[in-house]
Structure 1
Amino acid sequence: MTTTDSPLHGARVLVTGGAGFIGTAVRDALRRAGARPVLLDNLSAYEPATVALLGTGRHDPDLVFGDASDNDLVRHLVHDADFVVHAAAHSTVQGCLADPDTAFRSNLAATDTLVRAVADSPSIRRLILLSTAQVYGHGDPDTDTTRPRLFTETQPYQPLNPYASAKLWAELHTRQLLTAAGRDFTLLRPFSVYGPGQVPKPGAASWVVAQFTMYAALGQELLLNGGGRQVRDFVFRDDAADAIVRALTAPGAAGRTLNLGTGVQTSVSEVAEHVLAHFPGTTVRTAPPAAGDPLGGRADTALMHRVLDWAPAVTVTEGIARYVDWVRSTPAAIPPWMRAETSDGRLAAWTAPGPAVTRPPYLDQPASSCNGAS
C-alpha cells in the first residue's frame, strides 16, 4: 500500500503524551501512513536531553507544549483532529506511589478531560486509549500460580497497584462515556514495550531490557531478582507503534479491548543471557525477589491478530541487539543516576520498607507528566 492509499492519508491525529517513548514512535508510524500528527506534551516525563534523543522538544513543529488536563487546550486540539491516540500517563508504578498528585492529574484527570472532549466532538473518527497489561495483575487466581500465565482480554481484572487501577478506571470511563455519546474507540493493553529510545526511570524495574543493557555497558552487575524466573511478553517499540496506528482504522477494532503483545514469553534470565552475548564478562548475581513483582506471562494474541490482521515482526533476539547498538552509539542516553548506582545500593533499595524512589528534579514544575508507557 502506498502512502496515498492509506486510510490515514491526510488525517489529523492528536497524540497525547506525544513526546514520550511510545508517543514519538507513533508519530513516526503516522508519518509513514501519510497522516498529520500533532503531539501534545508538557515535556515533564524526561530530562531535556532524553526528550532530544527521542527526536522532539520545544523546537518540534509537530509539538504543542501543554498539559493533557488543560480543558480549553484539549478541546481546541480535539476539535481540529480526526483521530486521537491517548498515550499520556504518569507511567511507572513507583512513580505513581512517590508522586500521587501528579499521578492523579495525569492518569485520571487528563483522561477525563480528553474523553469528555472526544464525546463532544463529532469530527473524531476513533479514539485509541493506551491502557496496560498490568490490569491483569497476577492473572486468574484459580490457575496454577507456579506457572506463567496466558492473559486473555475477557479474564477478570486483578490490578495490583495504583497505576494499574488508574488504567482500568480509564478503560471503563472511556467505554462508558463514548458509548453513551456514540463515539468510536479502541482500548489497547500493551505488554512490555522496549527498544531504542527507552531510558529507564528510577524505580521502573519492569524496563529490564533497558536496565540490563545499560548496566552491562557501564560494567556493572546484572541482578536477577528471584533468579530471573519472571517472564514477560516483550514488544518492540516500532511493532507497538505500527499496531496502534493500524488500530485507528481497522474496522473490527471498533469498541474492542485488545492485547498488544507477541504471544511469546521470555524470562528475565533469558534477557540477561541475550545481553551477556553482547557484553561478555558481565557478572550476574541472584538477588532477592522484588516486592510485588508478579511471575508474569504472555498475551493471548488471537483476537489482536484477527481484528488488526497484523503480527509483530521483531523477535526479542533482534530487538535486544538493536537496543544494544543504540546504547553503544548513544552512550549519553545512560542517565546519571544509573552511573552512580552500585549493586549493593540497588539491593538495599529493594529490601527497604516502602518505595525507595527519589522524585526527579525535572518533575518539579506545575504541569503533570505526559509520557505514555507500560
Structure 2
Amino acid sequence: MDHRSDLGALAGATVLVTGGAGLIGSRITARLRDLGARPMALCTMNAYPAPVYADLFGVRVGNPDVILGDVRDTSLVRKLVADSDYVIHAAALADVAACTREPLAAIDTNVAGTQHVLDAVAATDRVRRMLFVSSASVYGDGNPEETDRPELLTMRQLLESVHGRIPPRFHEFTHMRPKSVYGNTKAWGEQQTALVLGHVGTSYAIVRYFSVYGEPQTVKPHSHSWVVAWFAARAHLGLPLHLNGGGRQVRDLVHVDDVAEGTLRALTSARAHTETVNIGTGVPTSVRQVAQLVRAHYPSTPLLTTPLPAGDPLGGYAATRRMENVLGWKPQVTISDGVARYVRWLQDTPGAVPDWLRREPAAA
C-alpha cells in the first residue's frame, strides 16, 4: 500500500529541520517545499566550507527559511519549536571518525543538543510529531553470538558471504551494540526520545539511516565515511582507492533522495507513531563491491588495502519489512544506478572535489 495521503498533512505545515542545511537536511527541506510545507532549517553550517553549502547544497545564509544557529541554544530552539507543527531532529556531529577523535564534542552536540530539542518539544502541545534521526551504527556488527566461522557454513552460505562472513540483517528489534562513540550517542538519543516524549504523550518516530550517499555529497578530510563519494573523488583524480580492512565491511547504501522521502513518510504516517524504522534498501554491498562499481567508470584506478579504522564496524544490511509495512514504501534507487549518477554528477561538477584532496600525491 502506498501511503501518499499521509504526506498531504504537510501542506501548509511549519516543519523545523535541525541540521537542515546539510546534504540530507537540504534534500528534506526541498521535498517539504514541494509538498507545500514551510520548512525552517536550523544549522550551524560549520561542517563544510561555506561554498559547499551555497554551491552544492543550495543553502545560503539570508534565505528566509535558513536559521544560522545551534541546537544547544536553548532560547532559540524553544522559540523555533513553539512555532512548529513538526520537528525533524537531524543535527549531529555525524562523522564516526570525528566523534572518535573528539568524544566530548560528540556528547556536547549529539547528547546535550538532543536534550535541548526534546525539552523544547515536551514544553509545547503544538508539535504533532517529532522525528529523531538515528543511524544503523547503533547495531554495530550485530549479535556476537552469531557465528562467522567459515568451517560451519554451508556451501550456499559461503557463496553469499563476504570473506567467509555472512553479513547480518539488522531488524529493528535487534539489540543495539554500537562500536563507536557516534553509535553510542545515537542509541542514547533513541532511548531518550522515547523516555521524554513518551512521558508527556507527544507523538514521535525514530528512523535509522543506513549508509547515505548521492550527489551532491562531498568528502571531509580525516574521515572514512561516505564511501561512494570518497571512491569517486579519488578515482576522478587518478588516486588509488583505499580498501580499509580489505574492503570486507558490508553497507546498505541508500540514496539521499530515498532517505528524504522515507524520512517524511515516517514523520507523517499514522502507523509510525512511536515506531523505530530502518531506512535502507535491504541489499548488502561490500566496500570492495563499491570500489568495483566506481572502477567500472575509471578502469585504470588501483586498489590499495589499508588498516581498518577504529570504530568502523564490519556492518550489515537493513531488514525492510517494517519499513515497507509502516511507511507503505521502499527505496527506488539501486546502488549501481546511484553510483553511476554520482560519477556523472562529479564529472559535470569537477569543482566538487576539494582542493586538499587534489594536492594528495598520486601514489598515496
TM-score of the two chains, using structure 1 as the length reference: 0.88
What is residue 132 of structure 2 aligned with on the other side? Answer: 129
Q: Which has the higher contact order (CA 8 A, sep 6+)?
A: 1
Which moves more between the two structures, 93-102 or 11-20? 93-102
Could you tell me whether the CA contact under 8 Å between 1:90 and 1:96 is conserved in 2?
yes
* Aligned-partner residue type, residue 181 of structure 2: P
Structure 2 residue aligned with 1:43, among 39, 42, 45?
45
What is the aligned-residue identity percentage? Answer: 46
For residues 2 and 183 of structure 1, the distance between their equivalents in structure 2, rounded to whole angstroms, comes to 23
Q: Could you say what secondary structure the match of 1:56 adopts?
A: coil
For residue 204 of structure 1, report the CA deviation from its aligned partner: 2.5
What is residue 325 of structure 2 aligned with on the other side? Answer: 306
What is residue 159 of structure 2 aligned with on the other side? Answer: none
* Aligned-partner residue type, residue 33 of structure 1: L
Structure 1 residue aligned with 2:33, among 31, 52, 62?
31
User: Residues 209 and 136 from structure 1, CA distance in 2 versus in 1: closer, same or farther, beyond 3 angstroms?
Assistant: same
2:221 is the alignment partner of 1:218: no
User: Residues 98 and 238 from structure 1, CA distance in 2 versus in 1: closer, same or farther, beyond 3 angstroms?
Assistant: same
Which moves more between the two structures, 25-34 or 284-293? 284-293
What is residue 13 of structure 2 aligned with on the other side? Answer: 11
User: Residues 282 and 106 from structure 1, CA distance in 2 versus in 1: closer, same or farther, beyond 3 angstroms?
Assistant: same
What are the ranges of 5 or more consecutive residues in structure 2 without an aligned counterpart? 149-164
What is residue 20 of structure 1 aligned with on the other side? Answer: 22
What is residue 357 of structure 1 aligned with on the other side? Answer: none
Structure 2 residue aligned with 1:60, among 59, 63, 66?
63
User: Residues 5 and 26 from structure 1, CA distance in 2 versus in 1: closer, same or farther, beyond 3 angstroms?
Assistant: closer
For residues 149 and 141 of structure 1, the distance between their equivalents in structure 2, rounded to whole angstroms, comes to 10
Structure 1 residue aligned with 2:341, among 299, 322, 337?
322
Q: Could you say what secondary structure the match of 2:9 adopts?
A: coil
For residues 296 and 185 of structure 1, the distance between their equivalents in structure 2, rounded to whole angstroms, comes to 27
For residues 180 and 131 of structure 1, the distance between their equivalents in structure 2, rounded to whole angstroms, comes to 20
* Aligned-partner residue type, residue 41 of structure 1: C
For residue 5 of structure 1, report the CA deviation from its aligned partner: 8.1
* Aligned-partner residue type, residue 57 of structure 1: R
What is residue 155 of structure 2 aligned with on the other side? Answer: none
Over aligned residues, Cα RMSD in angstroms? Answer: 1.8
- Counting matched residue pairs gives 345
What is residue 102 of structure 1 aligned with on the other side? Answer: 105
For residues 202 and 270 of structure 2, the distance between their equivalents in structure 1, rounded to whole angstroms, comes to 14
For residue 202 of structure 1, report the CA deviation from its aligned partner: 2.2
Could you tell me whether the CA contact under 8 Å between 1:3 and 1:33 is conserved in 2?
no
* Aligned-partner residue type, residue 34 of structure 1: G
Alignment map for 1:141-152 (pairs within 5 Å): 141-145=144-148, 146-152=165-171
For residues 342 and 291 of structure 1, the distance between their equivalents in structure 2, rounded to whole angstroms, comes to 25
* Aligned-partner residue type, residue 49 of structure 2: E
User: Residues 69 and 281 from structure 1, CA distance in 2 versus in 1: closer, same or farther, beyond 3 angstroms?
Assistant: same
For residues 344 and 165 of structure 1, the distance between their equivalents in structure 2, rounded to whole angstroms, comes to 36
What is residue 116 of structure 2 aligned with on the other side? Answer: 113
For residue 3 of structure 1, report the CA deviation from its aligned partner: 10
TM-score of the two chains, using structure 2 as the length reference: 0.91
* Aligned-partner residue type, residue 120 of structure 1: A
2:344 is the alignment partner of 1:341: no
User: Residues 274 and 73 from structure 1, CA distance in 2 versus in 1: closer, same or farther, beyond 3 angstroms?
Assistant: same
For residue 2 of structure 1, report the CA deviation from its aligned partner: 9.4
What are the ranges of 5 or more consecutive residues in structure 1 without an aligned counterpart? 346-374
